[in-house]
Chains A and B, each alone.
Chain A
């Protein structure tokens, strides 16, 4: 009953958030443009480095462009459901606003996620799709229907990894009140995940495939699609890409529930 009610409310929550954003249309357009320019200049810098050395860890510029676009699309899709929403969790807890969310007859996670569904990531998505479109015409991939499905599944899985990690960081604020510093760790590894993980020392490779599994939003799926070897995972890499998202989502759900049970508020 609560699940049906929750699902039925989602379109209304998104509509409310979009209306809120459209109250300040100038700011919205400016954020889209600034994001696209920021990422565009960063990718240009990477392109220049690769052009200077020919390849990076055995990856050509067009392959890296596919990796970058995959990384950005998976990230922006996952983050549009989670980043701005969970970044403010410690404020919600500290100011007591979280209490007001907990007395609604629908899932608190769903309310948080969809009442803040961030259309501000449209700039990221547009840039990622454009770059991906170009990169796919440059790399050698023998497309088939199952491979196309697999490509989409790994993108969704990557987005789920991002959303799950953001959820876990945000949920931690329910118990420890402050958790925003954990985003620095997330974005540290997120930046590393823009490059093929094979260029990093083994401990970082291990971390990117386990504790902070952002390798699954870039190197691992793109390597599988391009037929490149994946360190440590080998033949299991293909399946691991599809399973990483649901597995992290399950873990995030358990963590969320644990934090909810141990929520103390911030006093008052």
Chain B
């Protein structure tokens, strides 16, 4: 299937004035202005197929929002080529905007003093959504996101979770082909986060809406996005599925063996003991191809083994490991 978004060698450089320290520096900068070039995005390439859900992940200042802004036509790339739905987004910003939906986690697009329904109605006119289609979408989104109770309340009276659900609903009212979300779960409580994640995963699965979201919350990636793009310092570090990332890092799975009574010290070649709680012992499986069977075979039958649990590494651990080892890993993982 041909790509819906194609990013090839894209870079974005910002020119920022040098700030000199102290009052003297501030006065001097009035007369001689030096600039530094900040490379927010450097030579990034990827392609996204229709219907994909992609998490764009990276620490603060990694260039996530800049890339979203370039894909939505807000910013003009300094170098490289960028195509969204077959167009250059910045050159055809308004045409592009008609076919995408954008949600900014920290910037509202709703009218603060008016009921949510009024913002939706204006959205219908801006995007020229046929009345019947609008009514269907509104009914679907209201049910799915549980908005019926507050659709007629002014936005200023809504909680952050309610407002974010309304923002997401509004971004979907015109049936966009691509939904861009810039940190959609930031500041939400656990229940609201869960509702947003489940809804986005459903929209992607059932309606085939392509989703690209930036986030700091790894749970967002795990629940919504099978594919992960990781960036840091503006550079692409990893592009692939989460299991591939785990594999690339040498999946350090955790094995828990529970015995009827403390069997004493156990040493294995297939697994490394990390915690010994007597009857319960925790091992790390460093080798990717080690199976439970290998461990149990080496353990033998002389123990009163009650239970065996194998845990995949948590996504937080995988990402942390990746960033800690990024100079070595980046080249291997790409």
Interface residues, chain A, CB within 8 Å of chain B? 1-2, 5, 8-9, 12-13, 16, 19-20, 23, 95-97, 99-100, 102-107, 261, 263-265, 268
- Residues of B in contact with A, size category: 20 to 34
Cα distance A96–B104 in the bound complex, in angstroms: 9
Cα distance A5–B109 in the bound complex, in angstroms: 19
| Known A-B contacts A2-B94, A99-B107, A105-B95; A264 and B75 likewise in contact (beta carbons under 8 Å) | yes
Interface CB pairs A-B, < 8 A, 14: A2-B94, A12-B121, A12-B122, A20-B112, A20-B114, A23-B113, A23-B114, A96-B107, A97-B107, A99-B74, A100-B107, A104-B126, A105-B98, A106-B126
B127 close to A (CB within 8 Å): yes
Chain A neighbourhood of B108, CB < 8 A: 100
Q: Which of B65-73, B232-240, B245-253, B271-279 contacts A (4 or more CB under 8 A)?
A: B65-73
Residue in chain A with minimal CB distance to B119: A16
| Known A-B contacts A16-B118, A104-B97; A265 and B125 likewise in contact (beta carbons under 8 Å) | no
Chain A neighbourhood of B5, CB < 8 A: none
Residue in chain B with minimal CB distance to A101: B109
Chain A neighbourhood of B154, CB < 8 A: 23
Cα distance A9–B109 in the bound complex, in angstroms: 16
B74 touches A263 (CB 8 A): yes
Smallest Cβ distance from B113 to chain A, in angstroms?
Answer: 5
B173 close to A (CB within 8 Å): no
Cα distance A106–B123 in the bound complex, in angstroms: 11
Cα distance A23–B156 in the bound complex, in angstroms: 12
> Interface on chain A toward B: helix, strand, loop, or mixed SS?
helix
Cα distance A97–B104 in the bound complex, in angstroms: 9
Residue in chain A with minimal CB distance to B102: A103
Chain B neighbourhood of A16, CB < 8 A: 111, 114, 118, 122
Cα distance A105–B114 in the bound complex, in angstroms: 22
B44 close to A (CB within 8 Å): no
A265 touches B74 (CB 8 A): yes
Given A20-B113, A105-B94, A263-B75, 6 new contacts (CB under 8 A)? A1-B95, A9-B122, A9-B125, A99-B104, A105-B97, A265-B75
B53 close to A (CB within 8 Å): no
Say which residue of B122, B127, B128 sits within 8 Å of A13 (CB atoms). B122
Chain A neighbourhood of B122, CB < 8 A: 9, 12-13, 16
Residue in chain B with minimal CB distance to A23: B113
Chain B neighbourhood of A13, CB < 8 A: 122
B202 close to A (CB within 8 Å): no
Smallest Cβ distance from A202 to chain B, in angstroms?
Answer: 30
B140 close to A (CB within 8 Å): no
B118 touches A105 (CB 8 A): no
Cα distance A105–B111 in the bound complex, in angstroms: 17
> Interface on chain B toward A: helix, strand, loop, or mixed SS?
mixed
B72 touches A103 (CB 8 A): yes
Chain A neighbourhood of B114, CB < 8 A: 16, 19-20, 23
Cα distance A89–B106 in the bound complex, in angstroms: 18
B109 touches A264 (CB 8 A): no
B318 close to A (CB within 8 Å): no
Chain A neighbourhood of B65, CB < 8 A: 268
Residue in chain B with minimal CB distance to A260: B93
B107 touches A5 (CB 8 A): no
B195 close to A (CB within 8 Å): no
Chain A neighbourhood of B118, CB < 8 A: 16, 19
Which B148-171 residues have a C-beta within 8 angstroms of A? Answer: 154
Cα distance A134–B74 in the bound complex, in angstroms: 50
A8 touches B109 (CB 8 A): no
B255 close to A (CB within 8 Å): no
Residue in chain B with minimal CB distance to A8: B125
Bitwise interface map of B from 216 to 243 toward A, beta carbon under 8 Å scored 1, else 0: 0000000000000000000000000000
B280 close to A (CB within 8 Å): no
Say which residue of A12, A19, A20, A103 sits within 8 Å of B74 (CB atoms). A103
B213 close to A (CB within 8 Å): no
Chain B neighbourhood of A99, CB < 8 A: 69, 74, 104, 107
Cα distance A142–B102 in the bound complex, in angstroms: 59
Cα distance A261–B154 in the bound complex, in angstroms: 35
B111 touches A95 (CB 8 A): no
A100 touches B73 (CB 8 A): no
Residue in chain B with minimal CB distance to A102: B74
Chain B neighbourhood of A96, CB < 8 A: 104, 106-107
Chain B neighbourhood of A5, CB < 8 A: 126, 128
Smallest Cβ distance from B323 to chain A, in angstroms?
Answer: 20
Cα distance A96–B118 in the bound complex, in angstroms: 23
B35 close to A (CB within 8 Å): no
Cα distance A9–B94 in the bound complex, in angstroms: 14
Chain A neighbourhood of B127, CB < 8 A: 105
Chain A neighbourhood of B126, CB < 8 A: 5, 9, 12, 104-106
Nearest 6 interchain pairs by C-beta: A105-B98, A105-B97, A103-B102, A2-B94, A102-B74, A12-B125
B310 close to A (CB within 8 Å): no
Smallest Cβ distance from A239 to chain B, in angstroms?
Answer: 36
A265 touches B113 (CB 8 A): no
